[in-house]
Structure 1
Amino acid sequence: MTARLNPDLLHRPGLAAYRLSRALALSRIGSWHSYAVIATPRAGMPAMPKGYSYRIAAHMGEFEAVAGVAGVDLAVAQRRLDDGCVCLIASRGAAPVGVTWISLKPVREDEIAALYDCGGRAAWDLGLHIAPEHRASRAFAALWAATGDWLDMHGLAWSLSRIALYNAASLRAHARLDAQLVGRVQALQIGRLQWLRATIGGQTTLHLSGIARPPKLALAAAIMV
């Protein structure tokens, strides 16, 4: 790992990334994305709050019943399931309150052309979403408790993810879970071409490719077992 996640240190680059992203979007020239890659330790994840539970959906039939609280359309959900992700569904009593996704396999990025590969040494989590009416509840803790339980089942100590640098709320939430900053990913897309710069565990790689040929970003070297 490189350093404990400190959202304050990412505030200024996060604002710059947001302004550049907005400017490119408004100009319709292309798009810019800048992410922090973080590792959340199992030891920092909470216990399941009282009155909450979770279940695992590995097939579309299991997911469709909770699609209304998932925050993604069915096409995105199907792609994630096809890629080997499973959906962890948290409930309060009988009511689903939110979902998160997790995988042991390389995961395709939603916004840029990239594959995140933890090499079997950690999980990759993505797409945590809580229904608006439950955001003042313990749903966030329940989803992270579910993630921790899933990691235990697979004998893993870390879950990695990426967060947009300007998403201060998410960065602060992960910092409270003792998350570590392990790298940065930046991508510029113009037409069907993409330039990507990834710094993972202190090693920087550059990739120029078409968006239909996403580079694989190897993350295993940044993971402390």
Structure 2
Amino acid sequence: MAAETATAAPGLTARLRATVAELGGPNAVLYWISRALGRAGGIARLHRYVIVLQPVPERPLLKPHRGRSIAVEPLSRDDPRLFDLPLTRAVMDYRFDQGALCLGAVKDGRVIGCLWLCLGPFDEDEVRCRYVREPEGAASWDFDVYVHPDHRTGFAFGRLWDAANGLLRERGARFSASRISAFNAASLKSHAALGAAAVGRATFLRLGPRLQVMVSDLAPRVNISWRDDRPPRLLIPCPPPAQGGENKEGTS
């Protein structure tokens, strides 16, 4: 028994160090608290998000000849191709009911990826929170950017973002905002590669079936709620347009 304990300790220490190196000290502590709460039978849950703003570039990310076999088009609520995605009908209805738009990457008649956008306020589905960007129209809200595993080394991701950015340019949006789990280092890096920058953080503690405590460095900063019809409105400020603009070349 003593030998087993001695062997386990170095493994645990290595995991703790790796988590701190990947997430940073404060987020690593919250990550382990979240894991512990998750094992407590759902009595309490902890979520920590990083809110990012991603600029809408003036030019496409991909050169015109890249990914031409992939078409990106909006998918309506009744489009049967939506069921090519790993989503339930209830999840899709929740999103469409908020006015969200689903862009689908289509290849050989099948949807191989998607990107969701919402131009108005958006209600989170994981915690009780409504994301509001200010000023109105300056930024969309993007979420659930998905590409089928068989196509993740191709151009579907770039094609989805080029279509989304084109739509946002037409509508005058300068940014797309999103929330990323502070415990998901890979997603944070992926967004950073597209120019996203953190503009705030928010931590949510859910206690029992109703009580929620939110602490954020964005207004309203602190909120305690227990009613689904009264979510806190997290205000995400967008900076004013830069003088002269900024041109970004597409990648090869």
Aligned residue for 1:43, secondary structure, equals coil
For 1:135 and 1:18, the matched residues in 2 are separated by 27
Runs of at least 4 residues off by over 4 Å:
none
Identify the match of residue 33 of structure 2 among 20, 29, 45.
20
CA contact (8 A) 1:194 1:211 kept: no
For 1:53 and 1:46, the matched residues in 2 are separated by 15
Structure 2 equivalent of residue 35 of structure 1: 49
Superposition RMSD in Å: 2.1
For 2:215 and 2:202, the matched residues in 1 are separated by 6
1:1-225 alignment to 2 at 5 Å? 10-28=23-41, 29-43=43-57, 46-47=61-62, 49-51=66-68, 52-57=70-75, 59-62=76-79, 64-69=80-85, 71-118=86-133, 119-191=136-208, 192-200=210-218, 205-212=221-228, 213-219=230-236, 221-225=237-241
**Superposed displacement of residue 10, structure 1:** 4.8
Name structure 2 gaps, 5 residues minimum. 1-20, 242-252
Structure 1 residues 40 and 95: alpha-carbon distance in aligned structure 2, compared to 1, 3 A threshold: same
CA contact (8 A) 1:37 1:162 kept: yes
TM-score (norm 2): 0.77
Larger Rg: 2
For 2:162 and 2:24, the matched residues in 1 are separated by 28
Name structure 1 gaps, 5 residues minimum. 1-7
* 1:136-193 deviation per Cα after TM superposition (whole angstroms, max 9, x unaligned): 2222212211221121121111000000011111111111111111100110000110
For 2:177 and 2:72, the matched residues in 1 are separated by 20
For 1:37 and 1:93, the matched residues in 2 are separated by 35
Percent sequence identity is 32
CA contact (8 A) 2:67 2:155 kept: no
For 1:156 and 1:46, the matched residues in 2 are separated by 17
For 1:22 and 1:209, the matched residues in 2 are separated by 23
* 1:39-79 deviation per Cα after TM superposition (whole angstroms, max 9, x unaligned): 1111286136332221012x3112x313222x321111111
Q: Which has the higher contact order (CA 8 A, sep 6+)?
A: 1
